Each structure stands twice: as C-alpha cells, then as structure tokens.
Amino acid sequence: MAGVSIDAGEKVIAEYRRHWYVLVTESGIIAFLAFLPFIALVALTATGYSERLLFFVLFVSMGWLTILWSLFFIIWTNYYLDVWILTDRKIIDIEQYTLFSREVSEFRLDRVQDVTVEVKGIVATMLRFGTLHVETAGAVREFVIKNVPNPYDVRDEIMDWHDKAMKTLSLQKDG
C-alpha cells in the first residue's frame, strides 16, 4: 500500500479490519433502498399508468440504482482499506475516510502504554466485536480501531508483541 513502510527484516504479524457485521449492516440498508423502485413499479402497474409515466419511473429508478451501487462501492472500499497492520516492531493505522482521503499513522510497539477494549451492546457482545483504544507515550491522540473482531484477543496479541519489543529494547541497551 502506498504510504506504508515496512522495514527490511520486519514481519507482518496480523491485519485487523472492522467486523463483517458492520459491512453487512451498511450493505443491508443499501439493499433495502434498492427495492424501493421495484415497489414503485408494482404500485404503478396496479393503479393503471401511462407509458410516459412508466418510462419516467424507469429512468429515475435506473439513476437511483446507479447511485446506490456507487454508495455500496464506497462502503466496501472504506471497509476494506480501513486497516491496522501489526508487525513485530510497530502498528500501522490506515484510516480510510472517503475514497480519496486517508490517514496513515504508525507507532512503535515499545511506545504502547495502555490498550483498552470497549464492547457496547448485546449484538457486539454476542458477535464478539468492539472498539480498541491504544495509548502511546507522547502521542497527541489515542489510536482507535472501531468494531474490531475479537477485541480481547487483539489486545492480548498487541500486548504480547509489546512485551517482546520491550525485551528486545532492554537487551539492546544492556548489550
């Protein structure tokens, strides 16, 4: 990915994206809205119509479906490109805001001070997803990944690699 630098010898451990439930929920709304033109066409045929009105409704429906398809593409692209990459040395946070706007941040694992998990609601509890907050030394802001699957496992994995990074750093200082 452009803007992401992985050093020589650095290993990618894991990639974290939002939970599939988020994509399904947002896509479900688009799917529901896609049925509205068909409902309008059925209502139009049941009440009697002129050919001119039918062509107008078909034209508007095609435009509506094109807009919805574009929105689905944007939702899927944002879902896929919004990612955290855990390496053996750092975490890379790629925050995709819109199609042409993203922010790439990275922080070394030895800078991690606190990792907090937040799971809100019955759906998030049952499907096991939540928000992960990572605070780093000297960071102006906290790093957050929303709706990550298995947030407790992700926290444990980050903390394990943090401990390894701290041991490596202390060995470098001692040796």
49: alpha, beta or left, given left = phi > 0 and alpha = psi -120 to 50?
A: beta
Q: What are the tens digits of pLDDT across the range 19-77? A: 999 999 999 999 999 999 988 888 888 887 788 888 888 899 999 999 999 999 999 99
Q: Domain limits of the chain?
A: 12-175
The CATH label, of 3.40.50.300, 3.40.50.1220, 3.30.750.24, 2.30.29.30, for the domain at 12-175 is 2.30.29.30
pTM of the model: 0.79
